[in-house]
Amino acid sequence: MKRRFGNIIALCLAVALLYGMQHSKPHYMDLTGPIPVYGKMHETVRARLFNVTVDDVAFARELTVEGFGTSKTLTTSGVWVVVSAQLEATTASNVVAQASWVGPTGLQYDSSDRTGYVPGLPPHAIDPGLPKPARFVFETLPDQVSGATLILSNQLFPRLDSQVRIAIDRFKKFNDGQPLILDSFDIRRPMAVSGN
């Protein structure tokens, strides 16, 4: 009788302990999630497999792209965001495939796939020692511009790998903080290279 009672007490304790751990300990996805590398614009941010420097952010109502010899003009219900950056691999050639524009409230705008395959847009194949200009194109809403973060990683869902998070704070804006939105942006426009 005493032994059975002891068993029941042990079982109850185990249930309580496991319940407490389930609610207080981080979950599997949190433990194996991306490892953030925070950075600012105009400085080199170092991830495990690539270094990135964001030079410029521009906003436009229309975007002109050229792929396979034809140019097309893309409209949007929000604004186009064009991020110009320098990418360089650290130790081995790899691909930076994932870019997202995360608004101040955490809404995540993945890089637009409406452009189709266009040279200079992701996925970016990069090599060590060969820095390369790279552009990222997003569609977002005008209220998702100020206080936004640019997120870059090699894979679509990085797990236990670095994820670059760059605060976007320097862009052409009016006195009230609203960004300057161009009528159109031509993706063929050459990039200003920083440091040269």
Q: Which of 42, 72, 172, 189 binds another protein (CB under 8 A)?
A: 72
Within 8 A by CB and 6+ apart from 184, the residues are 60, 61, 62, 63, 64, 73
Tell me: does residue 188 bind another protein (CB under 8 A). Answer: no
Q: How far is CA 123 from CA 9, 11, 61, 137, in A?
A: 58, 53, 24, 11
To another protein, the closest distance from the beta carbon of 173 in angstroms equals 21
Tell me: does residue 14 bind another protein (CB under 8 A). Answer: no
Residue 84 CB burial class (10 angstroms; 0-12, 13-18, ≥19): buried
- CB-nearer residue toward another protein: 96 or 102: 102
For residue 120, which phi and psi values (nearest 5 degrees)? 95, -5
Q: Which of 43, 113, 127, 169 binds another protein (CB under 8 A)?
A: 113
Cα(167)–Cα(96) distance, rounded to whole angstroms? 18
Within 8 A by CB and 6+ apart from 60, the residues are 79, 80, 82, 181, 182, 183, 184, 185
- CB-nearer residue toward another protein: 73 or 178: 73
- CB-nearer residue toward another protein: 44 or 76: 76
Q: Which of 5, 28, 68, 174 binds another protein (CB under 8 A)?
A: 28
| Interaction mask 122-141, another protein, x per CB under 8 A | -----------------xxx
Q: How many CB atoms lie within 10 A of CB 49?
A: 19
- CB-nearer residue toward another protein: 106 or 177: 106
To another protein, the closest distance from the beta carbon of 107 in angstroms equals 4
Query: Interface with another protein by CB under 8 A: which residues?
Result: 27-30, 72, 74-78, 100, 106-110, 112-114, 116, 139-141
